[in-house]
Chains A and B, each alone.
Chain A
Amino acid sequence: MSNTAVAHEHHAEHPGGIWRWISTTNHKDIGTLYLFFSLLMFFVGGSFAMLIRAELFEPGMQLMDPLFFNEMTTLHALVMIFGAIMPAFVGLANWMIPMMIGAPDMALPRMNNWSFWLLPFAFLLLLSTLFMPGGGPAGGWTMYPPLMLQTGMAFPFVIFAIHLMGISSVMGAINVIATILNLRSKDMPLMKMPMFVWSWLITAYLLIAVMPVLAGAVTMMLTDRYFGTSFFSAAGGGDPVLYQHVFWFFGHPEVYIMILPAFGIISEVIATFSRKPLFGYDSMVYAIASIAFLSFIVWAHHMFTVGMPLAAELFFMFSTMLIAVPTGVKVFNWLATMWRGSLSFETPMLFAIAFVFLFTIGGFSGVMLALVPADYQYHQTYFVVAHFHYVLVTGAAFAIMSAVYYWLPKWTGHMYNETLGKTHFWLSVISVNVLFFPQHFLGLAGMPRRIPDYPVQFTDFNMMSSIGGFVFGASQLLLVAGVILCIRGGKKAEARAWEGAHGLEWVLPSPPPYHSFSEPPPASAIWPHPYRAD
């Protein structure tokens, strides 16, 4: 039918060179931009982490001034969270969501372009602070006042950089929602959407709800510093802890923003390589929704030691613990999906399995942290650092790597080099545990976070951790090699690159056409599931 064709005249005709990338409104181009940006930022943030680990290799100050160390810690986290993990997920959303729901592109393509093109400017602002008098931000990624107010000239730059990142994320999220709700093939009801699409739909709501709150928090800090307001000063009737409440009201949903899309990815990958339909689809959806809901009422578990009233401590302890239930449902469903399947272990599956193991370990330490009397010991020690790197690195980052290997054949039309991929996996998974597991012990033995130097009793585990870190960092060069090689050539990928794969993206050829579905796909491509009886 002619009227189902995409309404544009010049088909694959787009400007070449750099202007193509600057002016593009194509979801694949923008997805690619996001993914490369994220990779770049992963290396920038990773280099900061390498400096941190190098300074912590031995007791005594070897390499840098303590203030610079604090800058590294702060920027490492900001760059990793806002520059590496979040843009990677947005990039995957851009690439995959239109293909998975049978759409030609994102719903608001021009705004899509803007969402991306704010990011380089935001990070230019953020990273330029390193060269300013007074140095970069050094108050930790949580930026608590009054300490943060002591920042030098960098202060307003950091705040405005956060504003820009916030605008970018909110626009990106709006786009995702509009795309999913409005451009979905009419043969695909909500409860038959791929799990990755579901996870992103809910993540997008979280983003829209909390990014503006972060903007509000840093804006109050800005006016406290320059315009004499007293939000965070007791003398004027404010409270430094108010900032923490507002920040964590953003901050806790933020950590789920970094894990929910990962859950979606893992659900896709495990089902594919188990050659089975996902177990408990409905409960998976409800679990994501309950996690998202709960994430709004647990924020003060980051603040158990600030001296809140007892009732508040109890409330936040109980609500936090509850999150283990829906998360447990997800883990058990993945397990049941694998159970009596026909498993094969290509690189994406290896990363997915490692995800389930290691994320669960991170989740366990999360539940331990939720127990307040014990958190009095764990809080602000390396136990917390170990917890969140298990959920963030072996959780979010591993899921992203799994996704990259999983969809690379689709994107490039070539299979990646499996040997290289597996080498990358095994090096990573071993070294990352050498890197982060000992940090549990350091924390339990009382080593605080955010310190550039430490008592000698902590030396051994720090050395181990640093060595693990260097190996893990170096292994990531294999990821880059794998991606570049795959772009440049390799075995031709079929449309359905993986035997067990299902879903609309595998109906399109590899690589897919510039506009994914210029015609709505046939219902038969969506349903029934190739491995499902009904």
Chain B
Amino acid sequence: MLIKLLRSALRGVMCMGLTLLPVLAFAADGDMPSDINMPQGVTPISHDAWWIHMFAFWVCVGIGVVVFGLMIWSIVFHRKSAGHSSHHFHDNIYLEVTWTIIPFVILIALAIPAAKGLVRIYDTSEPDMTVKITGFQWKWQYDYLQDGFSYFSMLAADSNKASRLDSGIDPASVPHYLRDVDHPLVVPVGKKIRLLITADDVIHSWYVPDFAEKTDAIPGFVNQAWIKVEKPGVYRGGCTELCGRWHGFMPIVVVAESWDDYQKWVAAVKAGGGAYINPHTLQPEQNGSPVVFAPAELNFNAPTTAAVASVPAPAAPASRPKKSKAPVAKPAPATPAPAVAAAPALTMQTAMTRGKQVYDQNCAACHMPDGKGNEAMSVPAIAGGPIPNGPLAAHIALVLHGKGIMPAWGNILSDKDLAAVITYERNAFGNHTGDLVQPAQVKAAR
């Protein structure tokens, strides 16, 4: 601890001497970028940002040296205690005009590259592919529009556990603490990828420092952004707009791969029957929510698609602002998981194990790991609660369709996971209904 402190103090001193050192430190992994400066990043935009940042920084240093230098000079040499007596000048029009014009010129020099960079950021035309990103409290949904599948990405379980109050787990022992997710976004390198960013509930913001990509996800509106990743690697970021209780706990992980590897991954996902495919191992993963397929009727951008306007009608979004009771423009809601084969029946034991996993991943954030709920947020307890101990149909309906801040899990989880978690809730935390819910029941209740 003391050593750590000393080290940081030392580093602080070095940082303040940063004004004299070009900043080089930068790690390709993205997890440990330079500790003191903006990363140069791996997209054209991030290079622009870095360049403008450094340019502005040196300009400020330059102005600072002059202004502070003169001030220090005055402090040292014009002291009364040094016997200096005051001169009574109080105006000089030439001087005043000069120091109005010089900053103005400097600002123009700053504005030009900044304006150029900005225009580039806004040029989302002619992408090679499009991914739709939807922010939820508190996870991301990635929707590969042209391949017709989507999945959720949320904080990795080990980080989640360690971050609980009094967890007793040292965050330093958790790999990529708070910067790891169950299902990363996978993208190809060297392709221009258009991101369509929106949100389901409140405003979020999708930020990956190495891409200099930060765009607010606004419910009811779709923002556009683009990235073109130059180097394969794992890039980490997080939500940067306050979105409630677990705002600090919805990281972003992007795996950038060669086009070939990316293609293999897509093929594997499509063949995977709803399992998320680990982009590194190409093995299916059982944790987290399943991949959901929607008919790939849209073709937002086959690699050659030119003008944005010629895009054919897009598919129904999987998520829509909750408020729309919508007679007007409401497209039919996406049917989740049509490609998933009818899930096999559950036994009590499999349901309880799977149910606990699903609960810890999805429900514990609000209903708490011990099922006691959260009074402060008006989240009811599962333990001894009226719904888990009441009629089964009502329980299933509530979980499927949500209510208030309770999300409609029907759009998010598979029948099997829903069945498991409902079973779990009815038989854990001191509840003893004995009910075993089957996926078919959930399906019927949809």
Contact = CB atoms under 8 A, between A and B. Distances in A.
Given A133-B378, A373-B49, A533 B88 contact: yes
Interface stretch (B92-100, B295-303, B407-415, B436-444): B92-100
Given A67-B245, A448-B207, A364 B78 contact: no
Contacts of A356: 71
B423 to A, nearest CB: 29
A445 B60 CA distance: 20
B118 A342 contact: no
B331 interface: no
A332 B99 CA distance: 7
Contacts of B92: 280, 336
A11 interface: no
Contacts of B37: 441, 444-445
Contacts of B205: 305, 380
Q: Chain B interface residue count: which class? A: 35 or more
B216 interface: yes
Contacts of B202: 146-147, 150
Contact of A448 (B163, B220, B238): B238
B52 A335 contact: no
Interface string A172-185: 00000000000000
Interface in B75-104: 75, 78-81, 84-92, 95-96, 99-100, 103-104
Contacts of A367: 56, 60, 107, 110
Most chain B C-beta atoms within 10 Å of own C-beta, residue among A306, A314, A377: A377
Contact of A66 (B78, B104, B246): B246
A361 interface: yes
B137 to A, nearest CB: 9
Given A134-B377, A329-B100, A343-B75, A307 B239 contact: no
Interface stretch (A12-20, A392-400, A458-466): A458-466
A54 to B, nearest CB: 14
A454 B75 contact: no
B60 A353 contact: no
A321 interface: yes
Contact of B74 (A64, A278, A335): A335
B245 A66 contact: yes
B74 A338 contact: yes
Interface in B10-44: 11-12, 15-16, 31-39
A293 interface: no
A295 interface: no
B10 to A, nearest CB: 10
Interface string B36-62: 111100000110110011001100100
Interface string A346-369: 000000010011001100110110
Interface string A292-320: 00000000000001110010011001100
Contacts of B280: none
B365 to A, nearest CB: 10
B376 A150 contact: no
A233 B90 contact: no
Interface string B315-336: 0000001011010000000000
A476 to B, nearest CB: 22
B172 interface: yes
B214 A376 contact: yes
Contact of A277 (B70, B90, B376): B90
Contacts of B127: none
Interface string B1-17: 00011011101100110
Interface stretch (B174-182, B306-314, B339-347, B355-363): B174-182
A451 interface: yes
Contacts of A377: 38, 46, 49, 53, 209, 212, 214
A501 interface: no
Contacts of A380: 205, 207, 214, 240-241
Given A144-B203, A147-B242, A368-B56, A235 B162 contact: no
A276 B224 CA distance: 56
Contacts of B90: 276-281, 532
Nearest to B101: A325
A147 B165 contact: no
Contact of A279 (B68, B91, B165, B220): B91
A325 B103 CA distance: 6
B121 interface: yes
A361 B71 CA distance: 14
Contacts of A338: 71, 74-75, 78
Contacts of A321: 107, 110-111
Nearest to A468: B12
A371 B110 CA distance: 8
A176 to B, nearest CB: 27
Contacts of B324: 235
Interface string A110-148: 000000000000000000000001110011100010110
Contact of B221 (A140, A234, A314, A460): A234
A463 B71 contact: no
B401 interface: no
B121 A373 contact: yes
Nearest to B123: A310
B114 interface: yes
A282 B9 CA distance: 45
A343 B84 contact: yes
Contacts of B172: 59, 456, 459
B7 A460 contact: yes
A152 interface: yes
Given A67-B377, A376-B45, A457-B31, A240 B56 contact: no
Interface centre among A279, A281, A317, A339, by most chain B C-beta atoms within 10 angstroms, is A339
A229 interface: no
Contacts of A464: 5, 8-9, 12
B260 interface: no
B218 A307 contact: yes
A67 B376 contact: yes
A531 B36 contact: no
A168 B405 CA distance: 36
Contact of B163 (A61, A365, A461): A61
A77 to B, nearest CB: 12
A324 B107 contact: yes
A519 B11 CA distance: 61
Nearest to A234: B220
B150 interface: no
B424 interface: no
A305 B349 CA distance: 48
A236 B322 CA distance: 12
Contact of A305 (B63, B110, B214): B214
B107 A446 contact: no
A456 B31 CA distance: 10
A60 interface: yes
Contacts of A446: 33, 39, 207, 209, 237
A441 to B, nearest CB: 4
25 contacts: A60-B171, A61-B166, A134-B378, A144-B242, A152-B377, A235-B220, A280-B91, A314-B118, A317-B115, A332-B67, A341-B86, A361-B64, A371-B53, A371-B111, A373-B45, A373-B49, A373-B114, A373-B121, A374-B53, A377-B46, A445-B35, A446-B237, A448-B240, A451-B247, A461-B8
Given A60-B171, A464-B5, 13 more contacts: A60-B169, A65-B245, A276-B88, A305-B214, A305-B216, A307-B224, A333-B96, A340-B87, A368-B53, A373-B48, A376-B214, A532-B88, A533-B88
Interface of A: 58-62, 64-68, 70, 133-135, 138-140, 144, 146-147, 150, 152, 233-236, 239-241, 274-283, 305-307, 310, 313-314, 317-318, 321-322, 324-325, 328-329, 331-333, 335-336, 338-345, 353, 356-357, 360-361, 364-365, 367-368, 371-374, 376-377, 379-381, 434, 437-438, 441, 444-446, 448-457, 459-461, 463-464, 467, 531-533
Going nearest first, the 10 A-B pairs with the smallest beta carbon separation are A234-B220, A451-B248, A460-B8, A373-B117, A307-B223, A364-B60, A446-B209, A342-B86, A380-B240, A59-B171
